[in-house]
Structure 1
Amino acid sequence: MFNNKKFNGNKFKYAIYYSLIIAIVIFVLNDYINGMKSERIEYSDFVNYINQNKISEVQITKDKLLITPKEDSGGKILYTERVNDPDLIKKLDNAKIKYGGMPEENSAVKNILTGWVIPFLILAFLGRLLFGKLDKKMGSGVMSFGKNTAKIYAENETGVNFNDVAGQEEAKESLIEIVDFLHNSQKYVAIGARLPKGALLVGPPGTGKTLLAKAVAGEAKVPFFSISGSAFVEMFVGMGAARVRDLFKQAQEKAPCIVFIDEIDAIGKSRDGNMSGNDEREQTLNQLLAEMDGFDSSKGVVILAATNRPEVLDKALLRPGRFDRRVIVDRPDLKGREDILKVHIKGVKISHNVDLNSIAKATPGAVGADLANIINEAALTAVKNRRNEVEQNDLEEAVEVIIAGKEKKDRILSEKEKMEVSFHEVGHALIAALLKHTDPVHKITIVPRTMGALGYTMQLPEHEKYLNTKEEMLDQICVMLGGRSAEEVKFSSISTGAANDIERATQTARSMVTMYGMSDKFDMMGLESIQNRYLDGRPVRNCSAETSTIIDNETLKIIKKAHEKAKGVLLDNIDLLNKIANTLIEKETLMGDEFMAMVHEYQKENGKEITVIEDSDV
């Protein structure tokens, strides 16, 4: 598609290009047409035509004889080379043939055009074509390494506004003021306020930081420069700094505008501990700091940047006057997830009975990218099942696909393995049902999944929770160890199926000791800190080797207590364990309602309360 905006910005250049191309085409076509209207003959044939009186006229040029025959030759003019024949004029006079000369004024111009100008233009065109392709592959001009490679969106070209961003209301409120300043700067200037120079968007991957930045530009209706931090880092020394200068120069020319630098940690890492004083990344960072100090914020140039590693950024970059605001774009809560699902389900045909609230409850911790993926998976499932609209079970299946992977239909378990997996999963579910501080069971299945699980138990919280008590964490560990405990109670043996349960239980117990102050041994002493909070969130130990040994002992103590508690609950309810596990073997999947109905039915049949061990009993 022809780019009108690009053409309008370079009218003179394109006019020259097109004029040259048209001139070359006309010249070549003229030569081609003239070639079709003429035909070469030998000089001896020309003499025979004179003798046979077949020629009506001859035009004599410097090197050719143009012959007009008497008979119809299809509109063609014959020609032959002019040879040194002193009797030529005499022969023409004797045959009474008209003859004359032809002016040669244009021959010199034609020779220059054919010999020099046209070959030069063809080579220039081929060179432009070749280096243009190299430019695109290298990301910048071959002879202009210092040019910035930011993608520039014109007004409204981002195609995104705040209506397309859901689940981040606090972040949107922080950015609405920037948009309002760009629209109505006079009311802020009147009171003495100044536009924030920059805002840093911080949050986990997939939460919508880039989408928010585009929405700001879309709402403000100003040009939007978008570039990744890695685009400044070049193999040529000084090129990153040159690109920063060029970017800010263009931004000031387009002001008011927004400059968005994605993954700014690629160039904004802290300079502490950097032994080399002339590092390319450091030069780029220094130039960025100088440019952010140097431009006038009253012109309306706003710098937005995104990162999920704010702890590695240089302190000079984060100070007020450069990035005045830090906007947290965190994982959405229950209402936020439901709003995000409503945004992404626009344009998707859905059944009238779809309940997005239940899907939002089933996806705690999911970010916007995850929820968009769930909607797309549900649509694909509906198409696969030859339905014209997405139903609730499609969405529920999509949630399971994202969490555990697709069903692995070619993995057939033996009867013994099927029984072990069944008791393992029912062990998790029964502990969750019989302890007080746990989430309700939503589904139990022994259908293998592609993520490696031979079965799983899904629990869904009744309400959105932001805090966990010590009792809740202890019961969570009991639920995690319930699968292994069921294997021990039923088979008096253990398998490898509890590996992930043990890993998660150990990490939870260790966090209770080192970070949450839930150990009597260490009281409220912090022994670990979180690194890369918005990425993997790995803990870093802040204690001596001797203290680490005590931490291990305290962690083991918590796990042993939880293990014994889980085994005690299952032993006291062994008949219920057997009944539910045998039913699961037959059906392969039990929903939470079916499971709890069996628990209550067992209670009525036995006419007694189900045994539940209190925390104080362990």
Structure 2
Amino acid sequence: MFKNKRLSIILINIAVIIVAILVFRSVAANMSSKKIPYNKFVEMLNKKQVKKVVIQNDKIIIMPKKGTKEEKSILYTGAINNDKLVDLLEKSGAEYSQNVSESNPLITFLIYGVFPIFIILIAARFLFGAMDKKMGGGIMSFGKNTAKLYAESQTGKTFNDVAGQEEAKESLEEIVDFLHNPKKYTEIGAKLPKGALLVGPPGTGKTLLAKAVAGEAKVPFFSLSGSDFVEMFVGMGASRVRDLFSQAEQKAPCIVFIDEIDAIGKSRDASMNSNDEREQTLNQLLSEMDGFDSSKGVVILAATNRPEILDKALLRPGRFDRTVIVDKPDLKGREAILRVHSKSVKMDSTISLEDIAKSTVGAVGADLANIVNEAALLAVKNNRKVVCQEDLDEAVEVIIAGKEKKDRIMSPREKRIVAFHEVGHALVTALLDHTDPVHKITIVPRTMGALGYTMQLPTEEKYLVSKEEMLDQITVMLGGRSAEEIEFGSISTGASNDIERATESARSMVSIYGMTDKFDMMALESVKNRYLDGRPVLNCSETTATEIDNETLNIIKQCHNKAKDILDTNRDLLTRIAEKLLDKETLNADEFMSFIEHRNDNPEL
């Protein structure tokens, strides 16, 4: 309202002072006066106890004489139409007069009409100003979009900063080329895709890819989240969508990136839990994507890790024309990602990033970046100027199992149980055909709950797993418990995670992969939220579910007995390796394999 901030403060102070004076006068008047009944007033006149009387329109003010009980108070009573009042006043000898209002009507109007409005406007100004700061915009701009606009030099990302996603980059390079050279596409009649949907697990680099596209194209980049559209005010989401597309057309050519689009793009249905505001926003988004001309160079990029819940109308051609899968990187991709993130870190020349990539199966770009950073922190902690292989290996273990828990002291019996448990896993692994080689065995406790662990290092990247390989994997998982049974004749709680993973794998063999004769190739479960938890959902009756449980149990029993047979046959070897592990606490691959290679040559090894 006021451009001059100092003037605003002065006016507010004046207003506060005036209000305080009015309130003080009102309170002071009420504190020094006392109301009495009219007949009490008449009685005081008859007793000649009144010194002075002032008659007003609505009340009579009474000042008692000295020597009475109320001499220090100003009394008042209600005005009653009494023709004999003047006679009573004459007889009492009191002074009396009538109060005549001489107020100016203009002043009265200003005080009681304009002044309150003025105060309200000032209060509203400061109240809404505080709301503006919290909401990130003006109080009259609820319908404005809150997208962050990055200039060409602010994204700071190009395709050189993205590794391990070559197919995704190839799909998006066409969009960049169209924005640079639209003529060669329009000459042949090709149209720029209106939108591209980036789909993949969390941490794979969807947002990074979108920024890289804008950086390569050197065009304005609008970035916002799906939740920014839907807020507390009904209809504001649809208004923001309209304003976003209006601004995008003004800035064309440009790229609009909507992260977590499932917040507004969830499939519409007739359920009672539907959100009308979200559906209005989605309808407006669909309408805007139909309405704008792609030849102007406005490209909509969106990212989600829940594509199965998106509305089908959002995914049809003419809206999001292209789906770009940004999946977990393979071995070559992980190594490339590690190289990108290690550029800014001082590394020893002898470091093998390939070994780190092999030991991080299933890791995404964010995990690998975290490993490199953790290795740098470990190097500083150990007073080294460069990161060495030992730091990277330790960083992988920290990310997977947590830091070493040095204050956890196990009893000799517990330590022995853990040692035999881990050697059981390793020995079964070494003596089966379809398993990855052992990389490390340790009984050093970790902060994520592991009292010890056996790490395997794949020799190659696998995309298919055979039935024999799955059975051997389950057998390895149950090798730890089997070793406890053979050596101690009792069992502990240490195998809980092994049992959980073995049961999950066995159940998948039955219900998803069709690896049992009983159900042949019948699909009994389907995977939901593939890019998140990937948990399966049953698609069968309760009777069939019971049979699935029985088949799963049969596989578990079969693998459990196989693990016990292997360890019982090689019990001496199990004991020797476990004793060595108890002595050293950690065995690397070479130390462990020396026992396996010479098990028949030198029993005393």
TM-score range, shorter chain: 0.7 to 0.9
The counterpart of 2:135, out of the listed 138, 151, 176, is 138
Structure 1 gaps, min length 5: 1-15, 25-122, 608-618
Separation in 2, partners of 1:356, 1:586: 31
Displacement of 1:265: 0.1
Q: Does 1:150 align with 2:127?
A: no
Q: Counterpart of 2:466?
A: 469
Aligned length: 497
Tell me if the contact between 1:201 and 1:304 (Cα under 8 Å) persists in the aligned partners: yes
Separation in 2, partners of 1:300, 1:445: 57
Instruction: Within 5 Å, give how 1:266-277 maps onto structure 2.
Output: 266-275=263-272
Tell me if the contact between 2:132 and 2:139 (Cα under 8 Å) persists in the aligned partners: yes
Q: Counterpart of 2:577?
A: 580
Displacement of 1:139: 3.2
Separation in 2, partners of 1:136, 1:280: 24
Q: Counterpart of 2:600?
A: 603
Q: Counterpart of 1:166?
A: 163
- Structure 1 residues 193 and 455 mapped into 2: Cα distance closer, same or farther (>3 Å)? same
Separation in 2, partners of 1:461, 1:337: 14
Separation in 2, partners of 1:545, 1:425: 38
Separation in 2, partners of 1:339, 1:276: 45
- Structure 1 residues 547 and 277 mapped into 2: Cα distance closer, same or farther (>3 Å)? closer
Q: Counterpart of 1:202?
A: 199
Q: Does 1:242 align with 2:242?
A: no
- Structure 1 residues 243 and 219 mapped into 2: Cα distance closer, same or farther (>3 Å)? same
- Structure 1 residues 455 and 221 mapped into 2: Cα distance closer, same or farther (>3 Å)? same
Tell me if the contact between 1:438 and 1:472 (Cα under 8 Å) persists in the aligned partners: yes
Q: Counterpart of 1:215?
A: 212
Tell me if the contact between 2:334 and 2:368 (Cα under 8 Å) persists in the aligned partners: yes
The counterpart of 1:311, out of the listed 303, 308, 311, is 308
Q: Does 1:520 align with 2:517?
A: yes
The counterpart of 2:392, out of the listed 395, 401, 411, is 395
Displacement of 1:587: 0.4
Tell me if the contact between 2:567 and 2:574 (Cα under 8 Å) persists in the aligned partners: yes
The counterpart of 2:324, out of the listed 324, 327, 346, is 327
Displacement of 1:262: 0.1
Cα deviations across residues 322-372 of structure 1 (Å, max 9, x unaligned)?
000000000000010011001101111111111111100110000000000
Q: Does 1:191 align with 2:208?
A: no
SS of 1:365's partner is coil
Separation in 1, partners of 2:188, 2:229: 38
Tell me if the contact between 1:257 and 1:301 (Cα under 8 Å) persists in the aligned partners: yes
- Structure 1 residues 128 and 377 mapped into 2: Cα distance closer, same or farther (>3 Å)? farther
CA RMSD of aligned residues (A): 2.4
- Structure 1 residues 513 and 276 mapped into 2: Cα distance closer, same or farther (>3 Å)? closer
SS of 2:495's partner is helix
The counterpart of 1:428, out of the listed 401, 425, 429, is 425
Cα deviations across residues 111-162 of structure 1 (Å, max 9, x unaligned)?
xxxxxxxxxxxx9999988755532322332222111000001123200000
Q: Counterpart of 2:532?
A: 535
SS of 2:204's partner is coil
Q: Counterpart of 2:255?
A: 258
Q: Counterpart of 1:561?
A: 558
Q: Counterpart of 2:75?
A: none
SS of 1:602's partner is coil
- Structure 1 residues 126 and 350 mapped into 2: Cα distance closer, same or farther (>3 Å)? farther
Q: State the TM-score, normalizing by the size of structure 2.
A: 0.79
Cα deviations across residues 311-332 of structure 1 (Å, max 9, x unaligned)?
0000000001000000000000
Q: Counterpart of 2:103?
A: none
The counterpart of 1:357, out of the listed 340, 354, 358, is 354
Tell me if the contact between 2:328 and 2:363 (Cα under 8 Å) persists in the aligned partners: yes
Tell me if the contact between 2:440 and 2:454 (Cα under 8 Å) persists in the aligned partners: yes
Tell me if the contact between 1:156 and 1:222 (Cα under 8 Å) persists in the aligned partners: no
Tell me if the contact between 1:141 and 1:147 (Cα under 8 Å) persists in the aligned partners: no
- Structure 1 residues 443 and 126 mapped into 2: Cα distance closer, same or farther (>3 Å)? farther
Displacement of 1:274: 3.2
For 2:197, the aligned partner's letter is L
- Structure 1 residues 277 and 464 mapped into 2: Cα distance closer, same or farther (>3 Å)? closer
Cα deviations across residues 439-480 of structure 1 (Å, max 9, x unaligned)?
000000000000000000001110000000000000000000
Separation in 2, partners of 1:384, 1:588: 23
For 2:159, the aligned partner's letter is F
Tell me if the contact between 2:268 and 2:274 (Cα under 8 Å) persists in the aligned partners: no
Separation in 2, partners of 1:384, 1:276: 52
SS of 2:257's partner is strand
Cα deviations across residues 162-204 of structure 1 (Å, max 9, x unaligned)?
0000000000000000000000000100000000000000000
Separation in 2, partners of 1:592, 1:467: 26
For 2:374, the aligned partner's letter is E
Tell me if the contact between 1:480 and 1:501 (Cα under 8 Å) persists in the aligned partners: yes
Displacement of 1:603: 2.4
- Structure 1 residues 563 and 216 mapped into 2: Cα distance closer, same or farther (>3 Å)? same
- Structure 1 residues 124 and 238 mapped into 2: Cα distance closer, same or farther (>3 Å)? closer
The counterpart of 1:341, out of the listed 331, 338, 359, is 338
Separation in 1, partners of 2:546, 2:275: 44
Cα deviations across residues 269-319 of structure 1 (Å, max 9, x unaligned)?
000233478710000000000000000111000000000000000000000
Q: Counterpart of 1:42?
A: none
Separation in 2, partners of 1:22, 1:175: 53
Tell me if the contact between 1:422 and 1:446 (Cα under 8 Å) persists in the aligned partners: yes
Displacement of 1:600: 1.2
Instruction: Within 5 Å, give how 1:30-49 maps onto structure 2.
Output: none
Q: Counterpart of 2:503?
A: 506
Cα deviations across residues 23-75 of structure 1 (Å, max 9, x unaligned)?
99xxxxxxxxxxxxxxxxxxxxxxxxxxxxxxxxxxxxxxxxxxxxxxxxxxx
The counterpart of 1:450, out of the listed 434, 447, 450, is 447
Separation in 1, partners of 2:417, 2:433: 26
Q: Counterpart of 2:175?
A: 178
Separation in 2, partners of 1:22, 1:299: 47
Cα deviations across residues 207-257 of structure 1 (Å, max 9, x unaligned)?
000000000000000000000000011111101100000100000010000
Q: Does 1:370 align with 2:367?
A: yes
The counterpart of 1:297, out of the listed 289, 294, 302, is 294
Separation in 1, partners of 2:126, 2:402: 47
- Structure 1 residues 125 and 603 mapped into 2: Cα distance closer, same or farther (>3 Å)? farther
SS of 2:440's partner is strand
Separation in 2, partners of 1:518, 1:447: 37
Separation in 1, partners of 2:472, 2:521: 21
Structure 2 gaps, min length 5: 9-119
SS of 1:245's partner is helix
Tell me if the contact between 1:438 and 1:475 (Cα under 8 Å) persists in the aligned partners: yes
Separation in 2, partners of 1:536, 1:278: 25
SS of 1:350's partner is coil
The range that moved more, 270-279 or 459-468, is 270-279
